[in-house]
Structure 1
Amino acid sequence: MSAARAVPWSPAHPLWLCPFRPFFMLALVAGWALMGLWGGFLLLGWPLPAVPGGPFVWHAHELLLGFALAGAAGFVLTSVPEFTRTPAFGARPVRVLVGLWLAGRLGFWYSGWWPLVGLAVAALAQLGLIGGLMGLLAPRLLRDPGRRHVAFLWALALLAFVAAGFYVDALRGVAPTRWLHALVGVWMGLIVIAMSRISMSIVNASIDAQVAADGRAREPYLARPPRRNLALLAISGYTLAEFARPGGPVSAWLALAAAAAALNLLNDWHVGRPLLRRWPLLLYVVYVLMALGYALTGLALLGGGFSPNAGLHVLTTGVLGLNVYLVIAIAGYTHSGLEKSGRPWVPWGAALLVAAALARASAYALAPAALMGVAAALWCAAFALQSMRMLPVFWRPRADGGGGCDGLPPPRPAPASAPRQSTCAPEALTTDS
């Protein structure tokens, strides 16, 4: 059956050309559909699936183990073969993982009617998905010379551990919210790990473009492991302290340390004019929001007069939402053989997500119900816009004649008077976190 005439569930359909396609599609649809249901619940009283822990647990679970996990799965299944210079994964294992993601949604949504069965199905599906990712990635990460990207494997293992803790508590009838807060820390750490790789390509491509434009040689950008390791240590310290003794002064000071460590990461990014180009600047904002989220959390815990949930929602709505949005745009276009530049809708969608994060954080000090609804609407608008622009890309064959996961061909070299700087692809990282 030709790709143009294949049904969506057929391996011949373009949706299965590369692992990011089905998972990014799920992340995009989940982005506006799940948040739309949440906004409807907040403003209009729409019913939500009755799950153990209530609607807030449903909302956090679906954001962290539904939307975010779909985006992360698409990223690692596509990027790890590229980083390790190994073949792309075939459609068969990817289809199994997609089925597990869907089963996880079905089981958790059903858990209110039959808690034991629903939670068991959700746990097996979600942990099976994360375990399946680890099983596919581990041989390539461990055999890679120097094991430069093995941090992805440890991050997934930690994600599985925390997710398992959530389901164990839920099955025991214990409030599982502490595990959801820990999941936020895991995602922040994974974002730091992933951003160090993504930025090596994006920032250096911007430096190369500036060198070609003005003929002035510049030093390449390097995401330095010591800064990354310090940020991971600070984030881990806050997450552990908040898990053991939530709301205490130790958590407050460690949150402020995490904010400082996030700002310290940005010292590597200050490369002059190349930073002001679209893609580096948008990625830069992710770390700015991370620093803001942890700073607000720390100040609130020290008696700042507002809820620490303001910082928490900057991390989830802002950092997590914007990171998934940008990864889908960058990897989705590049590995579909399309140029990601010249897309004016991208910064508009990013601005909507930043506004959503600020509105959600402000809700604790101003008009809670109204601003929560505004934040949900802005988030939905961003991912609906991205869905309209990118879902057709994932649904149709490549127009450039490239292979399933091939990226764009390398750019033309700069003039001889301005030697092209190294792009410092992820392989250049000599020390991993």
Structure 2
Amino acid sequence: MRKQKPQAFWLFFPAASLLAAIAVPLSVWAVWSGTGWPAGLLGAGHGHELIFGFALALVAGYTLGPQPVSVLYPLLGLWLAARLSWILIPETLLAQLLGPAFALLLAWHVVPRFNAAKKWRNRMVGPLILLICLLTLVFWLSTALYSPLAAWLPGPLPLMHSAIAGLLLLMTFMGGRLIAPAVAGTLEKKGIPLEARVQPRIEGLLILILGCSIFLMAFPAANPITGSLFVLASGLLAIRTLRWKLWLCPERPDLLVLALGYSWLAIGAFVTGLALIQGTRPAAALHLITIGALGTLSASVMLRLAWQRSHRTPPPAGEVFSIAALIAIATISRFIAGPSPFGAPMLLWLSASCWALAYLWVTVRLLHLAKYSKKRRK
């Protein structure tokens, strides 16, 4: 009997959620303790890890599928080495090279999987993942003192903002492709036809608008234009979400929470757009995307996939609603803390604690479901 290849998500999803749970409170501790430890999470370091560590692990788990052990474990080992080296010894050449090495190797395995698509909207996923992976390399080059390109590249912070715009587009596309058929199938069982499914015209506009914003976000001089694109995208996201009629699916809490995550995309894009147009720092607004949208959608997708594979059922309402509520509290409290969050320590700790609790919950649940699934296969 041929041995079954292990699924990437059973490895990368728990690793990603554990990193998310640990990195955020440690980043707050690094400042408030006065020790500066761990050094890799000081300042924008936690953003680096959540974008180029956490988010890329999610991409790996969701897109790699079943892989030979000879591919999967070296990839996971490289990701883990990159995370530990960046968190503990970020100034070393080893730490700065391992992250881009993982990103490029991941792109090499993942991007060709999307080349077979016929429609241009479907083919954009591969190049978008490649772009996000390449931004890891560009980020390193922009910070490397010995790099001759450093003077010609945008700074690290604008590059991280570009990566967030890339994640916004990726979540817009992948979230829509996940929600639309699930809602349509649920409503069809009730005899309710859903005409607005993928909504290709809106999806195409969102790809073009947010695709331009990824490039423009790296150049602060273009902030008014970028902000206008974000506001326009937020309107399209809101329209797309409303046309799915998710209020007709009260028996599917997993879909309702996915809709909440998609709504965070619209809210985050709108508030970020306003901040860019007004010339104010977008740090607080961007957390509506990175905490609200990325947090809600990632936790929902991880649990949904794990429950479907292990129990062939959506996750229970109490679980998804509780996690979504924790992430919502984390999002709102971090946004209220403003662009200088250490001036509001109670709000910052509340945000970090709720985020950590949500992802510890997800980690424990994923490990339990993985163990159950393994026993079931035997």
Measured against the shorter chain, the TM-score band is: 0.7 to 0.9
When normalised by structure 1's length, the TM-score is: 0.76
Change (3 A) 1:143 1:290: closer
Match of 1:283 among 233, 254, 258: 258
Contact 1:292 1:314 in 2 (8 A): yes
Structure in which a larger fraction of residues adopt helix:
2
Query: Which structure 2 residues correspond to residues 146-225 of structure 1 after superposition, within 5 A?
Result: 149-172=122-145, 175-209=155-189, 211=190, 216-219=191-194, 222-225=197-200
Deviation string 1:74-127 (CA, Å, 9 cap, x unpaired) is 11123xxxxxxxxx333321112112211221342355453x343123322332
Q: Percentage identity across aligned positions?
A: 22
Amino acid at match of 2:269: Y
Contact 2:307 2:315 in 1 (8 A): no
Deviation string 1:238-295 (CA, Å, 9 cap, x unpaired) is 3322312357322332221222222132243126512674122211112221111122
Number of residues of Structure 1 aligned to a counterpart in Structure 2: 367
Change (3 A) 1:257 1:144: closer
Change (3 A) 1:388 1:91: same
Deviation at residue 381 of structure 1 after TM alignment: 1.0
Q: Which residue of 2 aligns with 1:406?
A: none
Contact 1:182 1:243 in 2 (8 A): yes
Q: Which residue of 1 aligns with 2:53?
A: 66
Match of 1:378 among 350, 354, 357: 354
Contact 1:238 1:258 in 2 (8 A): no
RCO greater where, 1 or 2, for CA within 8 Å and sep 6 or more? Answer: 1
Amino acid at match of 2:49: E
Q: Which residue of 2 aligns with 1:97?
A: 75
How many Å separate the matches in 2 of 1:112 and 1:334?
A: 38
Contact 1:184 1:316 in 2 (8 A): yes
The question of 1:33 aligning with 2:13 is answered no
SS of corresponding position for 2:44: helix
Contact 2:238 2:266 in 1 (8 A): yes
Q: Which runs of no fewer than 5 residues in structure 2 stay unpaired?
A: none
How many Å separate the matches in 1 of 2:322 and 2:305?
A: 18
Change (3 A) 1:324 1:349: same
Change (3 A) 1:117 1:316: same
Change (3 A) 1:191 1:32: same
SS of corresponding position for 1:219: coil
How many Å separate the matches in 1 of 2:35 and 2:201?
A: 48
Cα RMSD after superposing both structures: 2.8
How many Å separate the matches in 2 of 1:373 and 1:271?
A: 33
How many Å separate the matches in 2 of 1:147 and 1:263?
A: 23
Contact 1:259 1:291 in 2 (8 A): yes
Deviation string 1:363-408 (CA, Å, 9 cap, x unpaired) is 1189622211111111011111222222111234445449xxxxxx
SS of corresponding position for 1:344: helix
Q: Which residue of 2 aligns with 1:311?
A: 285
